[in-house]
Amino acid sequence: MKELIEFLEIVENNEFVEGHEVLEDKWKEWKKIPEKREESFILKGLINGSTAIALKVLKREKPSQQVWCTFLKYSPLIDEIDSEFTPLYQKARDILERKSIEYKIETQYPQKRDK
């Protein structure tokens, strides 16, 4: 998938907003196709991972952490869904996780506050 290969290059070069853009059309297309719907959530997770880092760069800490949680939610699907793109998904996840450490994004689900 050319969009995913482009995503890898873009995110590796710290162009996180563009990383979101490059996968968005494919995600919208796949979420409407019953056979691809589950796999579309992987794209959604990657989009959110890139967006979270973009928000962190903008020093928007709380939104960054919230969006990163969506990436974490869908990341396990990469290993659960049988896809010809699994190796590329794994590479994308690895890049995003490495970048999240570099940019110091909270990598755990935020704790719920008691009322």
> What whole-number distance in Å separates Cα of residue 93 and Cα of residue 83?
15
Q: What are the pLDDT digits (tens) for 11-29?
A: 999 999 999 899 999 999 9
CA 43 to chain centre: 7
Q: What are the pLDDT digits (tens) for 91-105?
A: 999 999 999 999 998
Q: For the CA atoms of the chain, what is the radius of gyration?
A: 14
Assess whether pLDDT exceeds 80 at residue 113: no
